[in-house]
Amino acid sequence: MRNKNKINPFSQSVILILLIGITLSISVLYAFQPNEETIVFTTVNPKNQIILMNWKDKKGDKLNSIKQLINYHKQQSLQTIFAMNGGMYTQNQDPQGLYIEKNQVLSPTDTGSGGGNFYLKPNGIFYLTKSNEAQICATPDFKFDSSINYATQSGPMLLHNGKIHHEFKKGSVNVHIRNGVGILPDKSVIFAISSTPINLYDFAEFFQSKGCQEALYLDGFVSRMYLPEKNYNQTDGNFGVIISVVKPQ
């Protein structure tokens, strides 16, 4: 007589495949969870620390890499304590979109449309005033005036008014190394890079967990960070704008 309780071998295989798939899915989702092991970050108070945006040296030559920037700072008797690529750029290492350095507009605001992360609206602008205040705003809200000392445009906004960008999908498998910047409740700046590939939703969620209302995506898999205090010493790269924090030697 046929055993009614016996499981068909085919059914067993299907169940096993499903269980393996669920286990792998859980593992992937766990790997993408933003925390202080998968995200390297530093906080900077612009009122008592010096934040710079850099593109070219005094001769007009593009700096390109963090290593070259560190050497350039040394020539100016400055010690680099942090550096990170500061936005997207063209094939010629020119800033994509707005770039302001020392109150001079060196690249105009890009309000156009197109493909890629930069044009995932709203994109935004991270800027510093002459009174050492840091701000991030959506591009349409930016108004240039004589108080703006530095500015870099990138996109998309990771957070706007405390909310994660509406196009981001939780659990997305579109993962890369990513870096970005946010403004903390005390007006300090938080710079962060993922040490492992991460999707945009989880990266935005990290800034949200820190209390940011506004946060801006800077770039993806090419991103690098120099942060000796955390033994993070990536000095290569071939960038446009590079953001740094320095102190006199």
Residue 52 lies in a domain: yes
222: number of Cβ within 10 Å: 15
More confident site: 48 or 2: 48
The CA distance from 31 to 12, in Å, is 29
Instruction: Assess if residue 131 is contained within a domain.
Output: yes
Residue 63 lies in a domain: yes
| CA pair distance 219, 152, nearest whole angstrom | 12
- A 10 A CB-CB count for 203 gives 27
For 55-101, the pLDDT digits (tens) are 999 999 999 999 999 999 999 999 999 999 999 999 999 999 999 99
Amino acid 5: pLDDT: 45
Q: Which domain holds residue 183?
A: 30-248
pLDDT at 32: 44
Are 159 and 34 in contact, with CB atoms under 8 Å apart? no
Where does the chain show beta strands of DSSP type E?
39-44, 50-54, 78-85, 99-101, 104-107, 124-129, 134-138, 148-154, 157-160, 163-164, 179-183, 189-194, 214-219, 225-227, 232-233, 242-248
For residue 175, give the nearest of 10, 28, 24 by alpha carbon.
Answer: 28
Percent of the chain residues past pLDDT 90, beyond the cut: 84
Q: Return d(Cα 4, Cα 21) in angstroms, integer.
A: 28
154-210: per-residue pLDDT in tens? 999 999 999 999 999 999 999 999 999 999 999 999 999 999 999 999 999 999 999
Count of C-beta atoms within a 10 Å radius of residue 113: 7
| Average pLDDT over every residue of 127-146 | 97
Answer whether residue 39 is part of any domain.
yes
**Domain assignment present for 18:** no
CB-side neighbour CA atoms (13 Å) of 82: 22
Judged by phi (left if over 0) then psi (alpha if -120 to 50, else beta), residue 208 lies in alpha
The terminus-to-terminus CA distance of the chain in angstroms comes to: 89
Q: Is residue 13 part of a domain?
A: no
Model pLDDT for residues 224-237, shown as the tens digit of each residue: 999 999 999 999 99
pLDDT the model gives residue 33: 54
Q: How many domains does the chain have?
A: 1
Give me the phi and psi of 137, to 5 degrees please. -140, 160
Q: Is residue 173 part of a domain?
A: yes
